[in-house]
Amino acid sequence: MAQKTLIVYYSKTGGTERLAQEIQTVSNGALQRLEVPAGTFSADMFATSDEAKQQLASGQLPKLVGTQPDLAAYDLILVGGPVWNGAPSTPVLAFLQAHQNSTVTIAPFYTDAGTPGAYEADFAKAAGQMTVKAGLGMAAGEAAHAQQRIADWYNGL
């Protein structure tokens, strides 16, 4: 029996969105984009990095807007986002924080522009009671050429 899969993701510049779409092709899962209010982050990558650091230091993660999914309706939730400062982006952390008492199974996927740092360890730490499976990370522009790698990861979950 196929798993009922939800793909939740945050994408600032489109790299993680492309990876989420490739994962959807493999998994036939439902796609849900995480949104933050307009103006939450600067258009400049370096300013966004500083804003995210301030959010983490203050404990004030960005507000997520729009309808949030019912995680209990799915067998597997794939949560994706960009790597910011070697860690999950703050919108992804906000999503995990909002659902940390859920007992669902999740797996991270992420895009980076250099190094993933401790992304998966930080993701697992923020996941609370959720069961965390192995993640999939790749360079932001790699998704379109990584279908087999994506399929191998998804089928191994």
The pLDDT tens digits for 95-151 are: 999 999 999 999 999 999 888 889 999 999 999 999 999 999 999 788 888 999 999
- Say how far apart CA 81 and CA 92 lie, in whole Å: 6
pLDDT of 40: 93
Give the pLDDT band (50/70/90) at residue 2: low
How many structural domains comprise the chain?
1
| Residue numbers of the domain that contains 82 | 5-155
Regarding beta strands 5-9 and 30-33, do their DSSP bridges make them parallel or antiparallel, or are they unpaired?
A: parallel
- Say how far apart CA 57 and CA 35 lie, in whole Å: 21
Torsion of CA 8, 117, 112, 54, to 10 degrees: 70
> Given the structure tokens 């597997």, which residue do they identify?
76
- Say how far apart CA 131 and CA 104 lie, in whole Å: 6
Give the pLDDT band (50/70/90) at residue 1: very low
Mean pLDDT of 76-88: 95
Give the gyration radius of the chain's Cα atoms: 14
Kindly report the pTM of this predicted structure. 0.94
Task: Express each pLDDT in 9-44 by its tens digit.
Answer: 999 999 999 999 999 999 999 999 999 999 999 998
Q: What is the CATH number for 33?
A: 3.40.50.360
More confident call, 115 vs 152: 152
| Helix, coil or strand: residue 75 | coil
pLDDT of 104: 95
| Helix, coil or strand: residue 51 | helix
Give me 134's structure tokens: 């192995």
